[in-house]
Amino acid sequence: MSTEYSTPPAQAVTINPMRLPNTLHLALGAFALLFGLILLLSVTNADQVRSMGIGAIGRLVTGITLLLFGGVHIREAMRYFRFTVVPGDSGLIALPSGESEHRNYLLNVINNGIPVRQRPSGALLSMFYGLVPQLINAPPTIRWHAELQLQRAIYLAAVLVSFSLAWVFAQPTAFAWMAGFYFIVSVMLLRPFATLSAIRKGALDAASNNVPAPRWPAIVTLLLISIAGPLAITLSPVQVPVPPFAVSTVVLPTLAVLGSGLIASALFTVALISQTGSYSASAARHIVDEKMQMADLSGGLLLRLSSRIPQPHHRYVHEHNVSKDTFDGELLVEEEPSVRADQSASGLIEAFRAAWQSPSQQPLLALGLFGLLLGVVGVVLAFVYARSSGNAMVGLVSLAFVASAQFAMASAHKLWNRVDFQSTLYRIRYVGTYHRVQRVAGNAYAGNGTLAEGAVRFGPTRVEVCVAQVTSVAFMHGGARHLTAVDLQHDASNAVIGVMQDYAREAQDCANQFYAQEHQVREVMNHGSRPPELPRTQHPMAET
């Protein structure tokens, strides 16, 4: 029978799972740089600058801001430009908190499936995990990112409800001031600059920290202010000063930032559902043989099994132990992970087409395109703001769309920033019993003497074999891989058992040959016969 059960070693693969989000960042950055340069070129002529007056300063500041904005996005596009995965370059399997060694964790995964944390008990998270049921099986990093985005969406919704209540209860003058407050709070919630900086390499290490619960007292206070505040201002004897701007100047930007932020949150939830839909608490189990005859106390079996697995590979456990009456061995090895074939397309057009046709990638691509659209509109409005001598409403709407664009593109970027791997995990363990006996052959008086010999008697050996296909995901180049699926490979497991059976037969044949030689010596000692002669060398006849 064929004992080859492993696949050829993986070759170096150049992949680009970030091709699409990088393209979106690059497009937005180039668009912002172009409009920023146009604004700066418009203030290079001295005569034109004098005719513009104070408006020249606005053009200059807006142009520099657009240059900085475009440079940030181009930098993010260059940061993850290409991943090259070479054999031995992938990280080890990540251990969850509370685990100190791979043996216990992987054995638990094989027998019981991928461990997941308990479903959150809070009302909000319980509802969220009910809406996205497979999220409970996702790696901690994705769950952390999802819970953080949910919290921001709740805050945005609370601000929108509070803003609507204030619109109903407040007088126009008071509402104009309150609308400005809501606009500032909305932009701060989206955290445009902090959100963009959080997608830098290694930022997802914060996934080990639990996301704090929403600040419900602050939300309730905000809702009460939207009702009690306008009433208090209306009943107050102090006259509220008229704002130096129209109500629409702040209302429309506030609606723009809240509406676009909530749309981005909804698209993120849909993308999250599609990304985690294939996750499950899968298990592999072991194939057990309790009657194998293993007449060997050495670790030769582990060496043979290990030599069949292509290099490089991750060796987690490799040990053989012999005690007074038992022997056991264990091998836990993972083949070098290979990148999934659907991680990258050959060209940009093919990548867009493949993502749009993929049910799991289409919502994520839509989220990124929505962020790009918001960013382009925000840049255009910023250009119009600078050219229109400082229309405040246009400038605030531009800021609102830019902040929402950062929020949407960063949310999509974190889900894109992953590399999916497939590998084969081998877990073999055997436990056997044996005992030693002492025998004396021959006769010292009537024969040629006695021969003392030792013999080893083996009992049945219990064998546990699991060859499983492992799917894992890493969120940074060379980072730890989180398990997402483990599936038993029956044919490969049976092939490993075949290798063990072949080795057991070879060991038994060697033992039989040894006992046959001892039997021949015993016969000589018992009957006093002449020992067998050794074969002699045949000398060639001398030529005459």
What confidence tens digit (pLDDT) does each residue in 326-350 have? 888 888 888 888 776 655 566 778 7
C-alpha distances out from residue 203 to 26, 268, 410, Å: 21, 19, 12
The pLDDT value recorded for residue 89 is: 66
pLDDT tens-place string over residues 496-532: 888 888 887 876 666 666 566 666 655 655 555 555 5
- Which tokens go with 479? 């980072």
Spatial distance between the Cα atoms of 204 and 76, rounded to a whole number of angstroms: 15
pLDDT tens-place string over residues 182-217: 888 888 888 766 655 655 544 444 445 566 677 778
- Confidence class for position 493, pLDDT limits 50, 70, 90: confident
pTM of the model: 0.72
Q: State which of 187-201, 274-288, 442-456 shows the largest mean pLDDT.
A: 274-288
Average pLDDT over residues 14-31: 79
Residue 275: pLDDT above 80? no
Higher pLDDT: 440 or 167? It is 167
Least confident of 126-140, 194-208, 297-311, 528-542: 194-208
Cross-strand bridge partners of residue 335: 313
Average pLDDT over residues 86-107: 77
Spatial distance between the Cα atoms of 65 and 71, rounded to a whole number of angstroms: 10
The pLDDT value recorded for residue 34 is: 92
C-alpha distances out from residue 294 to 8, 430, 433, 455, Å: 29, 9, 9, 15
- Which tokens go with 315? 């060796």
- Which tokens go with 308? 């069949």
C-alpha distances out from residue 153 to 6, 124, 147, 269, Å: 48, 12, 10, 10
- Confidence class for position 475, pLDDT limits 50, 70, 90: confident
